[in-house]
Amino acid sequence: MSTRFYNTKSRKKEIFVPIKKGHVNLYTCGPTVYDTAHIGNFRTFIFEDLLKRYLLLKGYGVTHVMNLTDVDDKTIKKSVAEKIPIRDLTNKYIDLFHSDIKKLKIIPADHYPRATDHIAGMIEMIKSLIEREFAYITDDGSVYFSISTYADYGRLANLNFELQQSTERVETDDYSKDNPQDFTLWKAWKDSDGEVFWDSPWGRGRPGWHIECSAMSVEYLGNHFDIHCGGVDNLFPHHENEIAQSVCATGKEFVNYWLHSEHLLLDSEKMSKSLGNFYHVKELLAAGYTSESLRYALLSTHYRSKLKFTNDKKHEAQKAVSRVQEIYNRLQEYVTDYADINGSANRVPASEDFIKALDDDLDVAGALSSVFDWIRKTNVQLDTKTLSEMDATNGIAFLLQVNSIFDILKFDLSIPEEIIQLAKERTQARKNRDWQNSDRIRDELYNLGWNIEDTPAGAKLKQR
RNA sequence: GGCGUCGUGCCAGAGCGGUCUAAUGGGGCGGUUUGCAAAACCGUUUUUCAUCGGUUCGAAUCCGAUCGACGCCUCCA
């Protein structure tokens, strides 16, 4: 079955066809690095990870670019307030970002271009826009994009600017613009910008926010590429403006498929830094989530639905993840000479359903239901010992396929010596039918973070 | 004011006109199993899909209205 994605451009699911056969160029809007990204941000990044992993599973090569916005009002303000050079400030948050990416097992992008490393390209693009008369320079040395020059402006966000009433904010906002909705390509330097400026044909200043993505996507992926992603809040004005700039500057098509992920909600409200209702990855890991359960919690709701992040999610995600881990371990034990047999996911019927669900605009819920359905049936076969070794190895291959999408299995299951010792003591106590001691040790292990399960094959240790 | 999304069983969440007496996960309860647990499995919580009308042989699914939640129109994943 063919891949279909919901394209914001058409507001419909469309069959996905890459520009170049077998390869996908993917651009995803990255973080503004003046602060730690919260899990609302990571919901989007993890959706993009899912998308990429899916494309890889389908056999595409993927070139993935994620920008890092390392200059904007907030960044400058913070660097001035904390008396830290802007580069030092952003370096700090970029490092934190990469460390969170790693904790969430997100496959890194191929390129993480920083806005401030690509000022020259932005200036070139602005020049081109001025030459083609899509942009104008104001007295103070700022450059604006004139939305009236681009007929399709507002098409992506489905906003009609002819009929639009100006909101109070827009009216009072600016002075020198031709049209209040015109947006900045280049911001002239002000005192409050301090040391932060670049020279340009229009004087000292810095780039507007939107131009960086246009300039960097074109540089790394070409004028015309396949997929551009971001959170819904980037739909307007950011992506709308990107389209206007890129199309007008290059005269070419820009992006074929726009995919937007919905918000993560906390107490029915959008999680955002300005509202102050956010969690960081680190906090959640400290609060008992594992990388795997957090991934699961963020992935198990469809990317175009709002995700209500509640306390119940943790338990639910942990249970679901351990269910998958459990059967993986069971199958590994069941198959004695796994290395000698080549399992194949293709021979597991559930795999077909799994992929078919993902083909339909990344229907994670459908995909997971086929996985869990298969898990239950396979557990029955394991209980009754009616599973063939071939099916067991195929099952392992299927689980690895599932894992290539969700990445929720742990493979390093090494157990500390101290824990093994305690388990041995408990086994001895059980042999002596000393239930009191054996239960005491079990409690002790539990407190150390380990569960112990007695099976016909002996006691098994599992990290909680 | 404009644009848009959504409202499903105890909770989360699929469902894209018949195969829906609603997938899947979580919780509660009961059971099989176990020294007791855990894990696994079985049953149950489930004739119900915000409300009211309409279209249709047939609707959770399409249309309209109403109520409610949320997002965008302004920096924001």
| Model confidence at A64: pLDDT above 60 | yes
Segment A221-270, tens digit of pLDDT = 999 999 999 999 999 999 999 999 999 999 999 999 999 999 999 877 78
User: What secondary structure letter does DSSP report for A107?
Assistant: P
Three-point CA angle A338, A318, A373, nearest 5°: 60
Instruction: Considering all nucleic acid strands, name the nucleotide whose C1' atom is nearest to the C-alpha of residue A275.
Output: B76
Element (DSSP H or E) covering residue A130 = helix A119-131
Coil vs helix vs strand at A111: strand
Beta-sheet strands, E only, within A275-326: 307-308
Arithmetic mean of pLDDT over chain A: 92
Closest CA to A211 of A181, A235, A246: A246
Distances in Å between the alpha carbon of A13 and those of A8, A107, A227? Answer: 9, 26, 14
| pLDDT level of residue A170 (50, 70, 90 thresholds) | very low
- pLDDT, residue A285, reads 95
Residue nearest to nucleotide B11 (CA to C1'): A312
| pLDDT level of residue A168 (50, 70, 90 thresholds) | very low
Average the pLDDT over A22-39 and give the result: 96
Strand A264-266 to A269-270 pairing: antiparallel
Amino acid at A404: S
Residue nearest to nucleotide B40 (CA to C1'): A379
- A69 bridge partner residues: A32
Beta-sheet strands, E only, within A171-224: 183-188, 205-207
Using the structure, give the distance in angstroms from the CA atom of A62 to the C1' atom of B73, rounded to a whole number: 34
| pLDDT level of residue A339 (50, 70, 90 thresholds) | low
Using the structure, give the distance in angstroms from the CA atom of A343 to the C1' atom of B5, rounded to a whole number: 43
Q: Cα separation of A213 and A258, whole Å?
A: 14
ipTM of the complex: 0.94
| pLDDT level of residue A79 (50, 70, 90 thresholds) | very high
Residue nearest to nucleotide B35 (CA to C1'): A435
Write down the residue that tokens 């199958």 correspond to: A331
Write down the residue that tokens 């030092």 correspond to: A88
Q: Cα separation of A46 and A40, whole Å?
A: 10
Three-point CA angle A352, A356, A362, nearest 5°: 135
Instruction: Considering all nucleic acid strands, name the nucleotide whose C1' atom is nearest to the C-alpha of residue A38.
Output: B77
Coil vs helix vs strand at A359: helix
Residue ranges per domain, chain A? Answer: 4-261, 314-406, 417-463
Per the CB < 8 A criterion, the answer to whether A260 and A29 are in contact is no
Segment A419-459, tens digit of pLDDT = 999 999 999 999 999 999 999 999 999 888 888 999 888 88
Strand A135-137 to A143-145 pairing: antiparallel
Per the CB < 8 A criterion, the answer to whether A214 and A245 are in contact is yes
Per the CB < 8 A criterion, the answer to whether A40 and A263 are in contact is yes
A314-406: CATH topology: Four Helix Bundle (Hemerythrin (Met), subunit A) (1.20.120)
Using the structure, give the distance in angstroms from the CA atom of A67 to the C1' atom of B47, rounded to a whole number: 53
Closest CA to A304 of A64, A49, A44: A44
- pLDDT, residue A267, reads 72
A4-261: CATH topology: Rossmann fold (3.40.50)
* Residue A181 tokens, joined: 């909705």
Per the CB < 8 A criterion, the answer to whether A91 and A47 are in contact is no
Residue % of chain A over a pLDDT of 70: 96
Per the CB < 8 A criterion, the answer to whether A8 and A260 are in contact is yes
Using the structure, give the distance in angstroms from the CA atom of A16 to the C1' atom of B55, rounded to a whole number: 34
| Model confidence at A165: pLDDT above 60 | no
Q: Cα separation of A443 and A437, whole Å?
A: 10
Three-point CA angle A238, A165, A156, nearest 5°: 30
Using the structure, give the distance in angstroms from the CA atom of A450 to the C1' atom of B63, rounded to a whole number: 57
Q: Cα separation of A233 and A228, whole Å?
A: 14
For chain B, which bases have at least one atom within 7 A of a protein Cβ?
1-6, 11-16, 23-27, 34-42, 69-77
Coil vs helix vs strand at A62: strand
| Model confidence at A164: pLDDT above 60 | no
- pLDDT, residue A35, reads 94
Using the structure, give the distance in angstroms from the CA atom of A446 to the C1' atom of B35, rounded to a whole number: 19
Using the structure, give the distance in angstroms from the CA atom of A435 to the C1' atom of B35, rounded to a whole number: 7
The domains spanning A4-261 and A314-406 adopt the same CATH topology? no
- A198 bridge partner residues: A205
